[in-house]
Amino acid sequence: MKEQPLSTRREKGVAVITMDNPPVNALSFALRERLDAALRELAADPAVQAIVLTGTGRGFCAGADITEFGKAPRSPKTIEIIETIESCPKPVLAALHGQTLGGGLELALACHERTAAPGTRLALPEVKLGLIPGAGGTQRLPRVIGATAALEMIVNASALGSAEARDVGLVAEVADDPVAAAMEFARDLAARGAELPRTRDRTSSDDRQAFEAKAESLLRRARGAEAVAAAVEAVRWSLELPFDEALQREQEAFQRLRDGQQSKAMRHLFFAERAATKVPDVDLRRAQSVNRAAVIGAGTMGVGISMSFADAGIPVTLVETSTESLERGLGNVRKLYASAHSRGRLDEADMKSRLSLIHGTTDLGAVGDADLIIEAVFEDLGVKQGLFARLDEIAKPGAVLASNTSYLNIDKIADATTRPDAVIGTHFFSPAHVMRLLEIVRGRRTGTNTIATVIAAAQRLNKQPVVVGDCPGFVGNRILRQRHEQGEQLLLEGALPEQVDRAVMRFGFPMGPFAMLDMAGLDVGYRIRRSQGYDLAIADAICERGWLGQKTGRGFYSYREGARTPLPDPEVEQLIVATSKRLGITRRSIGDDEIVERLLFPMANEGARILEEGIARRASDIDVIYVHGYGFPAWRGGLMRYVDQIGLRDVARRLRAFAERSGDQRLEPAPLLARLAEQDSSFAAWSHAQAESSTTDKGQAV
Ligand code: T1G
């Protein structure tokens, strides 16, 4: 914290207040205190005609200080500072740049006008923390851009750029020097002496039908997130209630959410995402810049990975073995960008510029100038070793050689090269240009600079990096195997795919496990089970009928021609019942609660083994992996936080009961989980203790 997180200067009758509270000008108590005092002092100073509020550093202001939420709120609160601005008899303008978020944008909305530098990003992202804007944003934003647009922006936590903000009237002017523009604007306002334009005096008017239709569609996708429902209700108040009454209700709703479990879980996730990029022996300042990338393999993953680089403005060479497979891959790139364009996600110029960054070739030598080379070829160790041996000869010194393998051993791939320190795993999730998770797999000899380079590259690609150790399935897929096995067990014992999926979706996942398997293709898992030497009677039987999921129109479910809606399949039910009978299992009715426990507790149990083996550094890394890679509902904080909240004693007791009933000893609580249950402790406490004493020589794989 800086001694002076704020400064003021005066120029020809206009005072400029500059917030300076690195790294993001969060509205900490110290900053709020000084900001309120400065506003009061300048409002009372006869030599000051107008005030401009701005911020220095990366952005104007990233909103409330999230680290203060767990503590008793201290005045002046942001809403009180806003009151000081609105009651000021002089013009107060905001000069914006960079990240202008949450309470930062709410401060700006209370000002009489706003200017912005190019590249400013304005958003009210509170729902990502399980909150709603708590300083008038749900009432002022609709008064500026309309209730429906405001609702969409708040619920989707979407950002407006400078030009868009000007077009919708959120800023008056986009200027390279927004402070100078604001000062001029302020002088004009002061000189006119007219009544100051207060946002609260405007009306939030909108086509009510359009608003309710938007509200309904946003609520449908909420899947249990309380903040979404609260945001819809709050913005609706802007259409129905007097300003002050609506403000009071917004404050009550904000406080209820702030003190509720969902927001605590999402704030846990916010800090977990940032902790995941921190590896004690890796110094991010030693990251090499990735100015050119290369991707080998233009299949689904290679195409998605290439697009991720192009989306980040990084030129990428996409290599295939034949012209036709290359053309097929480039065709898919064009199709995906055209679809984003037709959905309005991308304008024509942007689409063309991203396409121009992807250069296709069948010449492997073309990767010689790449800083980061990622292979996404067939999942066969021999194939990958052969390719890495060739890359070792072609790649320039210092290039990073990465494999997108989803479960093969990185060390064995590195053995094929003379530069094992440059070899690393970069496990993207399909579709790779959409899914944010990136498991960065550290081999035993992977260099720390290589890891730093890939973490930094992941951040440039707007991915969520998590550094994990090397084992079959790494972290996410190794845990997922538990869900596959327990899902199969539930079918054998009496459940059906549609019941399991319904229970899991009611828990908050966007899709159930069996529909997910049908979408990914059942042959993927079939091949992995064969290579890892285990079987799943029902899944194997379905596969062996050639029913591979959506791509064949049939899997655990059946699908109408060209449709993706899973339909219960009577023949699958017959196959399940017959398999239970063949295995001598008497089917029974199984409740939704048991279904969820039978899937999630063994997964968390595997997470405990992963922590104990040092494959994941902290429990919250597993939370980040499951939220960003597997659809675990963010408002529950993640897999390990979820079982911490239930209490490990109860979880251990249930696991013992599952093990006893099924005879499957692997369901017995893992040693770490049993120990923590015994101590009435938690994975979070264990991770904290580990971090306190952590040295890299503790056999940590990451
Ligand atoms: N409070 C406290 N610390 C914050 C913070 C915040 N709002 N935002 C970031 N940090 C820390 C972060 O933990 C990290 O710390 C460092 O700053 C750099 O962040 C009243 C109630 C602004 C887009 O939700 O989205 O206002 O790890 O690594 O990638 O209605 O930070 O270095 O120790 O993310 O460049 C609403 C949250 C709050 C914005 C920058 N605001 N922050 O991203 O850096 S609620 C938000 C972000 C609110 C009002 C309500 C991002 C960023 P460390 P970083 P970045």
Q: Which atom belonging to ligand 1 lies closest to the Cα atom of 125? A: 24
Q: Which atom belonging to ligand 1 lies closest to the Cα atom of 101? A: 41
Confidence of residue 562 (pLDDT cuts 50, 70, 90): confident
Q: Which two tokens stand for residue 154?
A: 């708040």
Distant-in-sequence contacts of 683-689, Cβ < 8 A, 24+ apart: 683/607, 683/608, 683/611, 683/619, 683/640, 683/641, 683/643, 683/644, 683/648, 684/619, 684/620, 684/640, 684/641, 684/644, 686/611, 686/619, 687/611, 687/617, 687/618, 687/619, 687/620
Could you tell me the distance, in angstroms and rounded to a whole number, from the CA of residue 36 to the centre of ligand 1? 22
Q: Reply yes or no on whether the pLDDT at 695 is more than 60.
A: no
User: Which pLDDT does position 223 carry in this prediction?
Assistant: 84
If you average pLDDT over residues 448-475, what whole number do you get? Answer: 96
Q: How far apart are CA 592 and CA 583, in angstroms?
A: 24
User: Which pLDDT does position 4 carry in this prediction?
Assistant: 87
If you average pLDDT over residues 238-264, what whole number do you get? Answer: 96
Q: How far apart are CA 502 and CA 512, in angstroms?
A: 7
Q: Reply yes or no on whether the pLDDT at 698 is more than 80.
A: no
DSSP-assigned letter for residue 98 = B
Asked whether the beta carbons of 572 and 543 are under 8 A apart, the reply is no
Q: Is 126 a catalytic residue?
A: yes
Name the region of 408 (left: φ>0; alpha: ψ -120 to 50; beta: rest): beta
Q: How far apart are CA 196 and CA 44, in angstroms?
A: 17
Task: Say if ligand 1 is within 6 A of residue 533 CB.
Answer: no
User: Which pLDDT does position 697 carry in this prediction?
Assistant: 45
Q: Reply yes or no on whether the pLDDT at 699 is more than 60.
A: no
Q: How far apart are CA 674 and CA 657, in angstroms?
A: 14
Least confident of 53-57, 223-227, 395-399, 415-419: 223-227
Taking CA atoms, 292 is separated from 400, 423, 635, in Å, by: 11, 17, 37
Confidence of residue 620 (pLDDT cuts 50, 70, 90): very high
Catalytic residue selected from 86, 113, 126, 273: 126
What does the pLDDT look like over 294-308, one tens digit per residue? 999 999 999 999 999
Confidence of residue 696 (pLDDT cuts 50, 70, 90): very low
User: Which pLDDT does position 531 carry in this prediction?
Assistant: 81
Mean pLDDT of the chain: 95
Please choose, from the candidates 467, 404, 431, the residue with its C-alpha nearest in 3D space to the C-alpha of residue 273: 467
Task: Say if ligand 1 is within 6 A of residue 24 CB.
Answer: yes
196 SS3 class: coil
Residue ranges and CATH numbers for the domains of the chain are: 6-259 (3.90.226.10), 285-473 (3.40.50.720), 485-582 (1.10.1040.50), 592-693 (1.10.1040.50)
Query: Best of 21, 24, 71, 80 to mutate for ligand 1, by most ligand atoms within 8 A of CB?
Result: 24
Could you tell me the distance, in angstroms and rounded to a whole number, from the CA of residue 24 to the centre of ligand 1? 7
In the chain, % of residues over pLDDT 90: 90
Task: Say if ligand 1 is within 6 A of residue 25 CB.
Answer: no
Q: How far apart are CA 640 and CA 571, in angstroms?
A: 37
Q: Reply yes or no on whether the pLDDT at 6 is more than 80.
A: yes
Task: Say if ligand 1 is within 6 A of residue 78 CB.
Answer: yes
Q: Reply yes or no on whether the pLDDT at 423 is more than 80.
A: yes
If you average pLDDT over residues 184-192, what whole number do you get? Answer: 92
Task: Say if ligand 1 is within 6 A of residue 491 CB.
Answer: no
Query: Best of 27, 31, 66 to mutate for ligand 1, by most ligand atoms within 8 A of CB?
Result: 66
Cα of first residue to Cα of last residue in the chain, in angstroms, is: 31
Q: Which residues pair with 401 in a beta bridge?
A: 373, 423
546 SS3 class: coil
Sequential DSSP letters for 52-95: EEEE-TTBSB--B-GGGTTSPP-SSPHHHHHHHHHT-SS-EEEE
Confidence of residue 1 (pLDDT cuts 50, 70, 90): low
Q: Which two tokens stand for residue 37?
A: 């005092």
Question: pTM surpassing 0.95?
Answer: no
Q: Reply yes or no on whether the pLDDT at 701 is more than 80.
A: no
Could you tell me the distance, in angstroms and rounded to a whole number, from the CA of residue 436 to the centre of ligand 1? 18
CA triplet 134, 140, 146: central angle to 5 degrees? 125
Task: Say if ligand 1 is within 6 A of residue 98 CB.
Answer: no
Please choose, from the candidates 147, 457, 156, the residue with its C-alpha nearest in 3D space to the C-alpha of residue 289: 457
If you average pLDDT over residues 476-496, what whole number do you get? Answer: 95
Could you tell me the distance, in angstroms and rounded to a whole number, from the CA of residue 7 to the centre of ligand 1? 22
Residue with CA nearest ligand 1 atom 54? 274
CA triplet 475, 500, 676: central angle to 5 degrees? 45
Residue 608: burial class (beta carbons within 10 Å; 0-12, 13-18, 19+)? buried
Catalytic residue selected from 86, 106, 493, 498: 106
Q: Reply yes or no on whether the pLDDT at 500 is more than 60.
A: yes
Confidence of residue 289 (pLDDT cuts 50, 70, 90): very high
User: Which pLDDT does position 359 carry in this prediction?
Assistant: 97
Task: Say if ligand 1 is within 6 A of residue 134 CB.
Answer: yes
Asked whether the beta carbons of 131 and 228 are under 8 A apart, the reply is no
Confidence of residue 518 (pLDDT cuts 50, 70, 90): very high
222 SS3 class: coil
User: Which pLDDT does position 219 carry in this prediction?
Assistant: 95
Task: Say if ligand 1 is within 6 A of residue 26 CB.
Answer: yes
Task: Say if ligand 1 is within 6 A of residue 266 CB.
Answer: no
